[in-house]
Amino acid sequence: MLRTRLLVSYLLLILLPLLLLGTLFYRMSLGIVTDQAQDNFYQIVKKNNEIMDVKLRQIDRISSNLFTDKELFGIFNHLNPARHEQLLEADRKISAILAQRFAQTEDLFAYQIWTSYFKFGPQNMPQGDLAESPIYKEAKLAGGRLVWNPTYDFPKMFNQPWLDKATDYDYRYLFTATRLLNFSYLDNSTMANLDPGVERPVLAISMKADLFHHLFEDSIPAEAEYFVASADGTYVAHSEQRLIAEHIQDRWVYDVLEKGSGTQRITLDGHNMLVCFDKSDVTGWVSVVTIPERVLVEKLVPVILTSTITIAAILALAAATLAYFVISRITGPIKHLMVAMRFVGEGDFHAKVEAKSNDEIGILIQKFNTMNDRIRVLVNENYDIKLREQQAEIQALNFQMNPHFLYNTLNVMNWVALENDQRELSKMLLCLSNMLHYTTRKDWDAVYLSEEIEWMSNYFYLMDIRFENKFAVHYDMDPALHDHKVPRLLFQPFVENAIIHGFELTESGGIITISGRIEGDARSFTVTDNGCGMSDETTARILSGATPTVGIANTIARIRHRYGDDGEVSIRSSIGSGTSVTIKLPLDTQD
């Protein structure tokens, strides 16, 4: 039964999309939440990196300024390492200078100047023989470039094994910036440099590794991990302190170091993880945050799942109720409509169905009745339309008689001229006949350029006789243009304007040049005359169509209508300097 089939089909059409949309909604919600969280954490990592880079750039800037410190230059240039009292005095002065420079900089643990014979600055760390430490040697090799040394184990770096058992010091893990200081300054107009025999000291600025911990601890969830890795595969900082200064073993970390900045999703120990990472512009170290995906969605999953199921159930119940109601309202009127349609199919256009409602079925019945009435009217009008069409064809044939009458009359006049040996008159009549035939063809479509040039030749012949050799015409056409079509009467309005208005004050010597070139994907035609020219105001009126020159306005309108933005007409003219009209048409147009 139709009602049962409609009800089942309707429910299936409603429930299946609901199930599909519910599933898609659930997955899309999870995807959107995950993507937004990934982007947010990536921005957090970038922002933390920017904050750290600001601090480190300040250290770089201050340390660079020490190169030209005149007081430090004088201390080291005149210092005698063999005299202990000079070393102590120099240490006092250098400590004061460093404190003045770095005391206002936050997060610094120590700032010192090292030499092979003495350590200047705060003596708060047992660093032993500094000259034997790797970071001192690397600074010497860098030759004045600031070197960022990744976090190191203090006892190992400075060969202090007895500190391994100590627990009451807070400088176990440090990272240090070092720079060789080759002092110089401008003394009047002379650059003063350290004496060749003076040892160049090394500036060392140290910070604690937990600086990164303070930066990340409040910006990521408790279940997330962070670490900072150097290019040589060392953990500069890590949320697990035992891994700080250790060599990195995980292969995926090296992939992150190679990429430098971005996000990716990986699986670690069977868990899906979001990885957000960004590279420091100052140190080249990469800050990385890893977050389990479940942490991002575990609180949202029940909400999304419950809301999806609830909405689907409510919509399914509403759909079932609505389906039963709608189907009951559909099947009754449809039966009456089918009966009426059967009568119409048999040719009875007077069949009517009563519309009992204003819903879609009622509107459909009203439209059916209106259609029936319209069909009856159209059938009655069809005969009248056929009669009018026949009359129009007869009238069109009558219109065609006029050009044929003119052609025949011109031919008779031509023969009369030939019989009276009036050759010039015969040629004028022949040109006029050809022009008339060209302009009265049934189809007003584009023509080949050669046809247009031939018509223009006839036109120029007649105009030359009319104006008694007032002007001459030259053609300069690229032969390749003859394979393309142009709108009919493309040049005539512009040529006529040149003859009538441009040469109005000229008795002889007028020259009209029609040229054409292919420029890339366009054709460019130019009509140039040496007439009296036009003002800018007149040129603007012609191009805008606000001129009584109907032929030019019509031609410009036809070009724009046929080619749109690819068709262009421009006019360049000035009083006393002639006029140049440029017409640009597309090359590949199928005219």
Is 37 contained in some domain? no
Is 447 contained in some domain? no
Closest of 517, 444, 507, 512 to residue 472, by C-alpha: 512
Task: List the Cα angle 391/395/397 in 5-degree steps.
Answer: 120
Is 457 contained in some domain? no
Is 423 contained in some domain? yes
Say how many C-beta atoms besides its own lie within 10 A of residue 134's C-beta. Answer: 12
In sequence order, what DSSP letters do the residues of 431-461 get, joined into one string?
Answer: HHHHHHHHHT-S----EEHHHHHHHHHHHHH
pLDDT per residue, tens digit, the chain (591 aa), is 556 766 677 667 777 776 777 677 767 777 777 788 888 889 999 999 898 899 899 989 998 988 888 899 999 999 999 999 999 999 999 999 998 888 887 788 889 999 999 999 887 788 888 888 999 999 999 988 999 999 998 888 888 888 877 766 778 889 999 999 998 887 777 888 888 889 999 999 998 888 888 888 878 888 889 999 999 899 999 988 889 989 999 999 999 999 999 999 999 888 888 999 999 999 999 999 999 888 776 666 677 677 777 776 787 677 667 766 666 666 667 776 677 777 777 666 666 777 677 777 777 777 777 887 777 777 666 656 555 545 544 444 444 445 554 555 566 666 666 667 777 777 777 777 766 666 665 555 688 888 888 888 888 887 887 787 888 899 999 998 888 888 888 888 888 888 888 888 888 888 999 999 998 889 999 999 998 988 888 888 888 877 666 678 888 888 888 888 888 999 999 898 899 999 999 986 655
Q: Are residues 192 and 129 in the same domain?
A: yes
Question: Which H, E and C letters describe 337-372, residue by residue?
Answer: HHHHHHHHHCCCCCCCCCCCCCCHHHHHHHHHHHHH
- Count of domains for the chain: 4
Half-sphere exposure of 191 (CA within 13 A, CB side): 6
- Output the domain CATH number for residue 276: 3.30.450.20
Is 380 contained in some domain? yes
Q: Are residues 384 and 487 in the same domain?
A: no
Q: How far is CA 559 from the centre of its chain?
A: 33
Is 159 contained in some domain? yes
Q: What is the pTM of this model?
A: 0.50
Name the residue range of residue 425's domain. 349-442
